[in-house]
Homo-oligomer: A and B are copies of this chain.
């Protein structure tokens, strides 16, 4: 309909995305969702609320570790409805002439991020977010000792459209004996780039985005926040650490306090700018065997769930994004500036 429509290639996957801004709703037309504070602070039927600890399996981590059960700040517990079993046989079994299977071995843990039922990471204190990140990394590094597990996915589902069923702030960790296909694809592209150019694709991406500025929402000494060039959905947001580590597991713990600030601030901008949207975030990290790999560079990917994937995306693998990443970044920078101005957000 308009000459503004473009097809852009993501340099980290080589996949193409249709950017068709004339289809967009303006952010201010996005309908209001229930804000976290509309909920009660404590819900007696919520298995993650204080006092209901017996409704979850025994915890594998509590912060602070010295806390009484009643005074925890973060808990990590096995998922009661885990799709995978802790033990089993990893041998591939040929199932007829064409098929192959293995036992459903894996770990699925839930990180209960706070005792408070009616908050969300965007509204938490920086120190609380830091504790969540410490819990992520602690469990990641504990589970990678089990060499059965090749890949550990840390992710968060927030809001109904994200696929979550519980509102109490929580995230999850899944360790699988299979490497993520998404990671393999990104690694292949990054290795090709490294072989061609002799540098890390993501380090070069950071430099290029900082030079162009158009898609950058925030920059700190340690991190860059941006809407990627070929954002697959509106307001897709990446947080990339400037320090080069393939794995979140090796990311220095001393940096987690800074990561907490940028993560909370980024989620707060999305919360205010898009009226508490449903979203998922994923820690895109290497396999546990590739943690020292020079080619890959871990980062966080935040995917707002403002639209539904439909038959075109499922058939072609191409996404249609209705907001130009540069327009999204301009809007998000304004949101950020107004939050800094009113003192809601640090101005680092």
Chain A interface (Cβ within 8 Å of chain B)? 1-9, 11, 15-16, 18-20, 23, 80-85, 88, 92, 95-106, 151, 153-157, 161-164, 172, 174, 176-178, 180-183, 204-205, 208, 211-212, 229-230, 280-284, 301, 303, 307-312, 314-318, 320, 322
Q: How many copies does the complex hold?
A: 2
Return the contact of A208 from the options B97, B151, B178 (Cβ within 8 A). Answer: B97
A265 to B20, CA, bound (A): 37
Cβ of A211: which chain B residues have Cβ within 8 Å of it? 96
- Contact (A317, B180) CB under 8 Å given A83-B5, A83-B23, A310-B280: yes
Instruction: Evaluate contact between A6 and B102: CB separation under 8 angstroms.
Output: yes
Given A18-B84, A181-B15 in contact, is the A155-B311 Cβ separation under 8 Å? yes
Check if B281 sits within 8 Å of A181, measured CB to CB.
no
Name the residue on B nearest A303 (C-beta).
B314
Q: Give the distance to chain B from A31, nearest Cβ to Cβ, in Å.
A: 15
Complex CA gap A312/B212 in Å reads: 32
Q: How far is the CB of A237 from chain B (nearest CB, A)?
A: 14
Instruction: Specify the chain B residue showing the minimal Cβ separation from A181.
Output: B317
* Dominant secondary structure of chain A at its interface with chain B: mixed
Whether the pair B177, A7 counts as a contact (CB closer than 8 A) is yes
A263 nearest CB across to chain B (Å): 15
Which of A16, A92, A177 counts the most B-chain CB atoms under 10 A from its CB? A16
A183–B230 alpha-carbon span in the complex (Å): 20
A315 near B8 with CB under 8 A, answer: no
A95 to chain B minimum Cβ distance, whole angstroms, is 8
Known interface pairs A18-B104, A315-B283; A163-B98 also in contact (CB < 8 Å): no
Q: How far is the CA of A95 from the CA of B9 in the complex (A)?
A: 10
A61 to B15, CA, bound (A): 32
Q: List 10 contacting pairs A-B, 8 Å CB cutoff, sorted by A.
A: A4-B104, A18-B106, A83-B320, A96-B211, A153-B311, A157-B310, A178-B318, A183-B316, A282-B315, A303-B314
Residues of B within 8 A of A316 (CB): 151, 153, 174, 176, 180-183
Question: Could you say which residues of chain B place their CB within 8 Å of the CB of A18?
Answer: 83-84, 104, 106, 176
Asked if B180 and A318 sit within 8 Å, CB to CB, the answer is yes
Q: Which residues of B contact A311 (CB under 8 A)?
A: 153, 155-157, 162-163, 172, 280-282
| Candidates B105, B172, B182, B318; contact of A317 at CB < 8 Å | B182
- Whether the pair B312, A7 counts as a contact (CB closer than 8 A) is no
Structural contact, B315 and A284, CB atoms closer than 8 A: yes
Do B315 and A98 touch across chains, with their CB atoms under 8 A apart? no
Q: Looking at the complex, which one of B20, B176, B309 makes contact with A309 (CB distance below 8 Å)?
A: B309
Q: How far is the CA of A348 from the CA of B284 in the complex (A)?
A: 50
On whether A11 and B85 interact (CB within 8 A), knowing A155-B311, A303-B314, A316-B174, the answer reads no
Is there contact, CB below 8 Å, between B5 and A310?
no
Contacts of A230 in B (CB 8 A): 99
17 further contact pairs, Cβ within 8 A, besides A155-B310, A162-B308: A5-B84, A6-B103, A9-B100, A15-B181, A16-B178, A18-B176, A20-B104, A23-B81, A98-B229, A99-B229, A153-B312, A153-B315, A163-B308, A176-B316, A176-B318, A181-B317, A281-B311
